[in-house]
Chains A and B, each alone.
Chain A
Amino acid sequence: MKKIYPSAEAALEGVLKDGLLVASGGFGLCGIPERLLDAMRDSGVKDLTFASNNAGIDNEGIGKLLRTKQVKKMISSYVGENKEFERQYLAGELEVEFCPQGTLAERMRAGGAGIPGFYTKTGVGTQVAEGKEVKVFGGEEYILEEGIFADLSIIKAWKADETGNVVFRKTARNFNVPAATCGKVCVVEVEEIVPVGSLDPDAIHLPGVFVQRIVVGAPYDKKIEFTTTREREAV
């Protein structure tokens, strides 16, 4: 059981092909799989569908693969701050399925948990409900949403041990956990691989059963979209 790969390219070998449905972690540019996205771009694989909360920004994150026109469709909740995305979308070159953020997270979680569909009150009475089954529970309407069963999950974490037990750092956890669980193959890039036994078993965020391949992605860019600070009080 060897899960550690020497490079992002090697970690994706044999799993990339045109037309894949890829679940990607990250929120904005926080906790995105930088090296795996680079390797996917460099591989030239195309017609990809990404289930990802955002689509990166211009030439960052999934934006890198938009620029090279490798993306056919996005399943996302928010796609602002991305000029190339906007151009392709308005030109009809890119398909977009808008999905409420919580519904997207739950669709991934459900897919990973073997649940093909679930009812939610999010989106009832809105465009999101169009074409979806409505069912009444306790006098309230709910709509049927489908689980996401991805071909590939690409994830960014903080640390993994050699068996793929993973921990994340602060708000970089975000979509990485649900996205990790819903792919047939889950590739995780980390800042550091640590020896088995050095992570607290009570504090594992993603157990190794969900992880097939691990690669060290450091050094990281970790771009910040909006740096906001306060003044240090005078002493």
Chain B
Amino acid sequence: MSEEAEGWTRNEMAARAAKELQDGFYVNLGIGIPTLVANYVPKDITVTLQSENGMLGIGPFPYPDEVDPDLINAGKQTISELPHSAYFDSAASFGMIRGGHIDLTVLGAMGVAENGDIANWMIPGKMIKGMGGAMDLVAGVKKIIVVMEHTSKNGDPKFIPSCTLPLTGRNVVDMVITDLAVFQRPDHDSPFKLVEMAPGVTAEEVAAKTTANYVS
């Protein structure tokens, strides 16, 4: 048996997600790998990042002498502003999100089901921290991309027939990017299709590590 390909790194997964960005997009990035997507925005397009705590136009981390406690992102990290930044309150922020004014969001997940359900906020029996803005994002943003490891730490598939963990949203995911492959569907009535694999990864390997049904 041949040695298994290593698949994409976290940064490569973020770079793959960044390929979905289009000029003029307003985008909300979740915490973790999704945050890295900001590092791979193509130079020839303009993308405005939204932070659900009330900002459009997130700038880079500040210089040490420009740290401002009144200027943080949704992960509570200090950030900076850009010339076109705008601030607003939380109700207006989620009006943008729920109202379909944000073009794309990239989120992590514990599991995605073949029907587009996503679970990423709680594990029964463990301390619940809360869903934050995740349920609003998956309900309202135009395109939902999930970036996650293909399998859990103990090797269980995460792209599965139906979610076993409590849902964050029902039939909402448009694209799944894992360290091994990319699955996509054109609308919420269609099945996911395997559209891309990391270098060296075979369709057989993807199939062996996926329990969700998809079009190959």
Interface residues of A (CB under 8 A from B): 27-31, 53, 76-80, 86, 89-90, 96, 98, 100-106, 108-109, 120-128, 158, 168-178, 205, 222-232
A–B Cβ pairs within 8 angstroms, 10 of them = A53-B90, A77-B130, A86-B127, A102-B97, A106-B94, A106-B95, A121-B98, A168-B89, A228-B77, A229-B64
Q: Is residue B48 within 8 Å, beta carbon to beta carbon, of the partner chain?
A: no
Given contacts A30-B70, A98-B130, contact A229 B61 (CB under 8 A): yes
Please state if B128 and A178 are interface contacts (CB–CB under 8 Å).
Answer: no
* Nearest A-chain residue to B128, judged by Cβ: A98
Please state if A126 and B170 are interface contacts (CB–CB under 8 Å).
Answer: yes
Given contacts A178-B90, A205-B89, contact A123 B139 (CB under 8 A): yes
Which 10 A-B residue pairs are closest in the complex by CB-CB distance?
A102-B94, A125-B170, A102-B136, A177-B89, A222-B69, A80-B129, A105-B90, A78-B130, A101-B133, A225-B76
B76 cross-chain contacts in A, Cβ below 8 A: 27-30, 225-226
Please state if B127 and A178 are interface contacts (CB–CB under 8 Å).
Answer: no
A90 cross-chain contacts in B, Cβ below 8 A: 127
Please state if B133 and A170 are interface contacts (CB–CB under 8 Å).
Answer: no
Which residues of B in the span 117-150 have a Cβ within 8 Å of any Cβ on A? Answer: 117, 127-136, 139-140
Count of residues in B whose CB is under 8 Å from the partner chain: 53
A98 cross-chain contacts in B, Cβ below 8 A: 128, 130-131
* Nearest A-chain residue to B66, judged by Cβ: A229
Instruction: Find B139's partner among A121, A171, A177 (CB 8 Å cutoff).
Output: A121
The docked-state distance in angstroms from the alpha carbon of A224 to that of B70 is 9
Interface residues of B (CB under 8 A from A): 51-55, 60-64, 67-79, 81, 87-91, 93-95, 97-98, 117, 127-136, 139-140, 166-171
Please state if A30 and B53 are interface contacts (CB–CB under 8 Å).
Answer: yes
B130 cross-chain contacts in A, Cβ below 8 A: 76-80, 98
* Nearest A-chain residue to B94, judged by Cβ: A102
CB distance from B26 to the nearest CB of A (A): 16
Please state if A78 and B169 are interface contacts (CB–CB under 8 Å).
Answer: no
Please state if B53 and A174 are interface contacts (CB–CB under 8 Å).
Answer: yes
* Nearest A-chain residue to B98, judged by Cβ: A102
Given contacts A100-B133, A102-B97, A122-B135, contact A171 B60 (CB under 8 A): no
The docked-state distance in angstroms from the alpha carbon of A158 to that of B91 is 19
The docked-state distance in angstroms from the alpha carbon of A85 to that of B157 is 33
Please state if A125 and B131 are interface contacts (CB–CB under 8 Å).
Answer: no
User: Known contacts A121-B98, A173-B54; can you find 5 more A-B pairs with CB under 8 A?
Assistant: A78-B132, A123-B139, A170-B71, A231-B63, A232-B63
B77 cross-chain contacts in A, Cβ below 8 A: 225-228
The docked-state distance in angstroms from the alpha carbon of A77 to that of B46 is 31
Please state if A224 and B136 are interface contacts (CB–CB under 8 Å).
Answer: no
Please state if B131 and A77 are interface contacts (CB–CB under 8 Å).
Answer: yes
B88 cross-chain contacts in A, Cβ below 8 A: 173
Please state if B72 and A224 are interface contacts (CB–CB under 8 Å).
Answer: yes
The docked-state distance in angstroms from the alpha carbon of A31 to that of B71 is 10
A223 cross-chain contacts in B, Cβ below 8 A: 69
Most A CB contacts (10 A, CB to CB) among B76, B87, B167, B169 go to B76
Please state if A229 and B67 are interface contacts (CB–CB under 8 Å).
Answer: yes
Please state if B78 and A226 are interface contacts (CB–CB under 8 Å).
Answer: yes
Most B CB contacts (10 A, CB to CB) among A53, A106, A170 go to A170
The docked-state distance in angstroms from the alpha carbon of A96 to that of B127 is 12
Given contacts A102-B98, A109-B91, contact A171 B132 (CB under 8 A): no
B74 cross-chain contacts in A, Cβ below 8 A: 27
The docked-state distance in angstroms from the alpha carbon of A125 to that of B119 is 11
Please state if A222 and B136 are interface contacts (CB–CB under 8 Å).
Answer: no
Instruction: Find B91's partner among A29, A178, A226, A227 (CB 8 Å cutoff).
Output: A178
Instruction: Find A101's partner among B70, B75, B132 (CB 8 Å cutoff).
Output: B132
Please state if A171 and B135 are interface contacts (CB–CB under 8 Å).
Answer: no
* Nearest A-chain residue to B137, judged by Cβ: A102
Please state if A79 and B87 are interface contacts (CB–CB under 8 Å).
Answer: no
Please state if B135 and A30 are interface contacts (CB–CB under 8 Å).
Answer: no
* Nearest B-chain residue to A191, judged by Cβ: B70
The docked-state distance in angstroms from the alpha carbon of A223 to that of B81 is 19
A228 cross-chain contacts in B, Cβ below 8 A: 61, 77-79
B170 cross-chain contacts in A, Cβ below 8 A: 124-126
